[in-house]
Amino acid sequence: MPLAVCPECEAEIHVDEDVDKGEIINCEECEVMLEVVGLDPIELDLAPDEEDEDDLEDEREY
Protein backbone atom coordinates (compact mmCIF):
# COMPACT_ATOMS: atom_id res chain seq x y z
CA MET A 1 0.00 0.00 0.00
CA PRO A 2 1.47 3.37 -0.97
CA LEU A 3 2.46 5.83 1.69
CA ALA A 4 1.88 9.55 1.56
CA VAL A 5 2.77 12.28 4.01
CA CYS A 6 0.25 14.58 5.62
CA PRO A 7 1.17 18.19 4.80
CA GLU A 8 -0.39 19.28 8.09
CA CYS A 9 1.26 17.02 10.67
CA GLU A 10 3.76 15.05 8.50
CA ALA A 11 2.29 11.72 9.57
CA GLU A 12 2.56 8.84 7.14
CA ILE A 13 -0.80 8.01 5.60
CA HIS A 14 -1.68 4.72 3.93
CA VAL A 15 -3.47 5.40 0.67
CA ASP A 16 -5.42 2.89 -1.39
CA GLU A 17 -3.52 1.78 -4.49
CA ASP A 18 -6.51 2.57 -6.70
CA VAL A 19 -6.99 6.07 -5.30
CA ASP A 20 -7.82 8.71 -7.90
CA LYS A 21 -6.55 12.24 -8.25
CA GLY A 22 -8.94 14.65 -6.57
CA GLU A 23 -10.15 12.15 -3.99
CA ILE A 24 -10.53 13.41 -0.45
CA ILE A 25 -9.04 11.37 2.37
CA ASN A 26 -8.66 12.02 6.06
CA CYS A 27 -5.41 12.07 7.99
CA GLU A 28 -5.69 9.59 10.82
CA GLU A 29 -3.38 11.68 13.00
CA CYS A 30 -4.82 15.20 12.81
CA GLU A 31 -8.11 14.34 11.01
CA VAL A 32 -7.58 17.06 8.44
CA MET A 33 -9.18 16.58 5.02
CA LEU A 34 -6.62 15.98 2.31
CA GLU A 35 -7.00 16.01 -1.47
CA VAL A 36 -4.94 13.68 -3.63
CA VAL A 37 -3.11 15.99 -6.02
CA GLY A 38 -0.54 13.55 -7.42
CA LEU A 39 -0.32 9.80 -7.92
CA ASP A 40 3.31 8.98 -8.71
CA PRO A 41 4.43 9.54 -6.08
CA ILE A 42 1.25 10.15 -4.14
CA GLU A 43 1.00 13.75 -3.07
CA LEU A 44 -1.54 15.21 -0.69
CA ASP A 45 -2.67 18.78 -0.23
CA LEU A 46 -5.04 20.33 2.26
CA ALA A 47 -8.57 20.06 0.92
CA PRO A 48 -10.58 23.26 0.71
CA ASP A 49 -12.89 23.65 3.67
CA GLU A 50 -16.44 23.32 2.36
CA GLU A 51 -17.89 25.27 5.27
CA ASP A 52 -15.69 28.23 4.42
CA GLU A 53 -16.83 28.09 0.80
CA ASP A 54 -20.46 28.19 1.92
CA ASP A 55 -19.72 31.26 4.01
CA LEU A 56 -18.16 33.01 1.03
CA GLU A 57 -21.16 32.22 -1.17
CA ASP A 58 -23.51 33.63 1.45
CA GLU A 59 -21.50 36.85 1.58
CA ARG A 60 -21.63 37.24 -2.21
CA GLU A 61 -25.42 37.09 -2.17
CA TYR A 62 -25.70 40.22 -0.07
Instruction: For the CB of residue 60, give the shortest distance to Zn ion in the complex, in Å.
Output: 31
Site string for Zn ion, 8-37 (x = CB under 5 A): xx-x---------------x-xx-------
Closest of 52, 55, 49 to residue 35, by C-alpha:
49
Which residues lie closer than 8 Å to 33 by C-beta, 6 or more apart?
Answer: 24, 25, 26, 46, 47, 49
For residue 24, the surrounding DSSP H or E stretch is strand 24-26
* Near Zn ion by CB under 5 A: residue from 4, 6, 15, 25: 6
Instruction: For the CB of residue 42, give the shortest distance to Zn ion in the complex, in Å.
Output: 14
Residues that bind Zn ion (CB under 5 A): 6, 8-9, 11, 27, 29-30
